[in-house]
Chain A
Amino acid sequence: MTSKGGDVVLTSPGGVEKPKGLLDALAEIQQYYVVERSSQSVSEDFLTLKGKLAFFEVGFKSTFLTGLLSVLLTPLALGVLNSYIPVFGTTELTSFDKVFTMVFAFSFTIGYTFFVASISRYYIGTLTTASIRNLFGGLVTGSLCKVVFAFLIYYTAYHFLLDPYHFGAFCQALMPSDRPDLAQRLYAAGIMFRSVMLPSFWWVFAGGVAMIVIPGLSILIRSRKTRRALKTEETKGLRQSETASV
């Protein structure tokens, strides 16, 4: 993007450059916002199919990968909350420990959610809204895939892998026959984890919904504010030009 004598010219031969990560995508969106706010709106076609897919991919990847971390850490966090697993070397939990383990499990989801929500005030103009819509589309798809993945993992674990019958047979087969205590301990740990599998799914589901709802609502509310502010600026400008001409 360059500026020639006050006119802003979008100079990118193959449309937009492919954003590598969420930060790049947000930076691109900010640039489009500045251009569309200070001059006329740019056609959506400037984004090109490749650019649209790039924004979608960034949204999808960042949501799905952070979701995988949540899927792995949520059963551990719930195990801590139920005092099955020690945290910071103890099972006597303080309020800090309870909050910290849940925040730890959802840390990247929370971080990305607020990071994406921060672009909501730029939701004006044709090109900017198209970019945000594609990024948000990737985010929604990533969240849905994450929830489906969590459903498959947790329900398979609950109904098949950690089912008392199957898991008992597995423990007996795995551990040496002269050490029945080891098999019993492994069995107890497995059954303990089984009890947190279904609640874990609902936590991941709630995290996925929050990741869609928070940026969505933020776009809805803050874009209206931005539009209102721009209208006020326009009317002020008109008034000033009228007074100057009088």
Chain B
Amino acid sequence: MFDSMWLYKLLSNGLWPRVLASMFLSAALWWGIYRRRFVVGVIFFILTFMLTYCTNFVTGMVTWLVAGGEV
């Protein structure tokens, strides 16, 4: 069976969620302010919010999706 726990561990703690959140926030500012694509900016902003404040939920969802519904 596909072991998806590595992905959970990777996303739930340490460097990677912080790097991803910083990238998403930069993308939100770039698209939302500079490129004036409001919807894209909002999507990146929501992704940043979810990764920052709802880490366990997001990592659980991603792990579940990658594992094809089996964790």
- Name B58's closest neighbour in chain A (CB-CB): A89
| Interface mask (A64-105 → B, CB under 8 Å = 1, otherwise 0) | 000001000000100000000111111000001100110110
Number of interface residues of A (CB under 8 A): 24
Partner among A22, A24, A104, A115 whose Cβ is within 8 Å of the Cβ of B25: A104
Task: In the complex, identify which listed stretch (A49-57, A106-114, A132-140) lies at the interface while the others stay far away.
Answer: A106-114
B33 near A89: Cβ-Cβ < 8 Å: no
Q: How far is the CA of A89 from the CA of B17 in the complex (A)?
A: 9
Q: Is the beta-carbon distance between A21 and B36 smaller than 8 angstroms?
A: yes
In the assembled complex, the Cα of A101 lies from the Cα of B29 at a distance in Å of 15
Contact with A along B21-56 (1 / 0, CB 8 A): 110010011001110100000000100110111011
User: Is the contact region of chain A dominated by helix, strand, or loop, or is it mixed?
Assistant: helix
Across the two chains, which residue of chain A brings its CB closest to B20?
A88
Residues of B within 8 A of A108 (CB): 29, 32-33
A88 touches B33 (CB 8 A): no
B29 and A88 within 8 A (CB): no
CA distance A90 to B59 in the complex (A): 13
Binary CB contact string for chain A from 11 to 40 against chain B (1 if under 8 A, 0 otherwise): 000000000111110000000000000000
Residues 10-23 of B, flagged 1 when their CB comes within 8 A of A and 0 if not, give 00110001100110
With A89-B55, A104-B25 as known contacts, state yes or no: A96 contacts B36, CB within 8 Å.
Answer: no
Sorting the interface of chain B by its residue count into under 10, 10 to 19, 20 to 34 or 35 or more gives 20 to 34
A17 vs B56: C-alpha distance in the bound complex, in angstroms? 48
Which residue of B12, B22, B29, B36 contacts A89 across the interface (Cβ within 8 Å)? B12
**Chain B nearest Cβ from A20, distance in angstroms:** 8
Interface centre among B34, B51, B53 (most CB of A within 10 A): B53
* Cβ–Cβ < 8 Å partners of A104 in chain B: 21, 25, 48-49, 52
A112 is contacted by which of B12, B33, B53 (Cβ under 8 Å)?
A: B33
- State how many angstroms separate the Cβ of B16 from the closest Cβ of chain A: 10
Interchain CA distance A20-B48 in the complex, whole Å: 26
Which one of A21, A24, A88, A112 lies within 8 Å of B18 (CB-CB)?
A88
Interchain CB contact under 8 A, A23 and B36: yes
Do B52 and A87 touch across chains, with their CB atoms under 8 A apart? yes
The 8 Å CB contact of B29, one of A24, A87, A111, is A111
Q: List 30 A-B contacts (CB under 8 A).
A: A20-B36, A22-B33, A23-B34, A23-B36, A69-B45, A86-B55, A87-B52, A87-B55, A88-B13, A88-B17, A88-B51, A88-B52, A88-B55, A89-B13, A89-B17, A89-B56, A96-B18, A97-B18, A100-B21, A100-B52, A104-B21, A104-B25, A104-B48, A107-B25, A108-B29, A108-B32, A111-B32, A112-B33, A115-B33, A115-B34
Q: Which 7 A-B pairs have the closest CB atoms?
A: A89-B55, A111-B29, A111-B33, A88-B17, A89-B12, A21-B36, A88-B55
